[in-house]
Amino acid sequence: MLPSEIEILFVSHKYPPAVGGMEKQSFELINHSALYLKVHTLLYDNEESILTFFFRLNQRILSKIKANPRIKLIHFNDGLIAALASFHRGYDHLKKVVTLHGLDIVFPLPYFQHKIIPRFNVFDQVIAVSQATAEAARSRGIDPSRIAVIPNGVDPVTPISKLKDDKLPPYFITLGRPVKRKGFSWLMQQVIPAIQGNFRLLMVGPFDQSPTWKERILNLLPAKLHHLATLFLGYPTDQQEMRKLLRMHPEKIQHLGKVPFDQLRHLLTNAHAFLMPNIQVQGDMEGFGLVCLEASSRGTVVVAAELEGITSAITHDHNGLLLPSQDANAWIGQLQNILDNPDHYEKLGQKFQKNTNSDFSWDIMARSYCHTFVKLCQKATANSEKINYTTD
């Protein structure tokens, strides 16, 4: 079976216009795979409720494969939608693949861990976005022979010179949702106040300056239920502590909230360093660390915690700097050194940028997926021909 004869159905409920790392990965995977294979899609577009999308998905898949009988394989883009699909009926003759991103394998609901995760073994291939995610899958009973690691990619960026902005002092930058595992409040409390000199920590991402009604309701829940609910919702669990720390250190820390893409690109390019100070949180994990690559691809030195999936995105002294998670002295010393030696670290950032852009791209990722898809389909065809030959 030639690649041109293989058609793939991509199924995802994480896709633009929604914004996020999984949405970005899904978009790039589908569009780059379409360069190599015939692609069909079933995507959640926010035109109906997500529950309706899930409820009708089995029938829609059956309709799609009936209309396109050359579809040989279905790819589900995260563990949640794959868990639901594991109960589907009517397309067992097709190969099925799921990508796991991190939280969709470690979510600490007992029923999910003991009843749902074992069902991932019905998939012909389980693709993990990092070694840490793959290890989490193996440790939960997923057949190691079914697991492959394919890292995410990054948008290619043409190297550009940093622009000096007299309006801003030297600054570090963070990017992301204020959830506990990102370690933002730890950084604000344990590291930033101890660094000497004229600098700022600029924080970018969704942020509520005042408590919301949803936050007040969630805070009424018992601790265990609060943990499960906020993990499932991706709720910003670090906001409350961050608000206090912002008030305590207004001269050093500023949260910009969401910013336009062009402004974000400018901020990332001209930062002294991009910081990703993740900490361990039970039942949560950083599946990959895509924002590290996005910052490194712009020539900015990445300083990140040596933790979980971040280590599949950043290799120490190759395309970034890794420090022990929650080691305040190590972080203080490294960031002080960057402030005190800006020329050295600007050159280092340029070296790291070349390595990131060489090692990671959406096209590299998509070609790895397509190779996996073709190999599965060709193996299935060979087995089918062998069975037919034996029967004859």
Secondary structure (3-state) at 207:
coil
Place of tokens 């499932």: 232
Place of tokens 């019905």: 122
Secondary structure (3-state) at 255:
strand
Rounded to whole angstroms, the Cα distance separating 301 from 350 reads 8
Rounded to whole angstroms, the Cα distance separating 7 from 333 reads 53
For 322-377, the pLDDT digits (tens) are: 999 999 999 999 999 999 999 999 999 999 999 999 999 999 999 999 999 999 99
Task: Give the number of other CB atoms < 10 A from CB of residue 288.
Answer: 26
Identify the pLDDT of residue 379.
Answer: 79
- Of 310, 201, 326, the residue nearest 254 (C-alpha): 201
Identify the pLDDT of residue 163.
Answer: 62
The token pair at 120 is 């991932």
273-276 vs 302-305, strand pairing mode: parallel
Identify the pLDDT of residue 41.
Answer: 97
Secondary structure (3-state) at 218:
helix
- Of 162, 168, 174, the residue nearest 335 (C-alpha): 174
Q: Which domains does the chain have, with CATH numbers?
A: 3-153+361-391 (3.40.50.2000), 171-359 (3.40.50.2000)
Contact 42, 62 (CB under 8 A): no
The token pair at 142 is 């997923």
H/E stretch holding 246 reads: helix 239-248
Identify the pLDDT of residue 333.
Answer: 97
For 44-89, the pLDDT digits (tens) are: 988 899 899 999 999 999 999 999 999 999 999 999 899 999 999 9
Q: Which residues of the chain have pLDDT under 70?
A: 1-4, 158-166, 380-392
Identify the pLDDT of residue 391.
Answer: 40
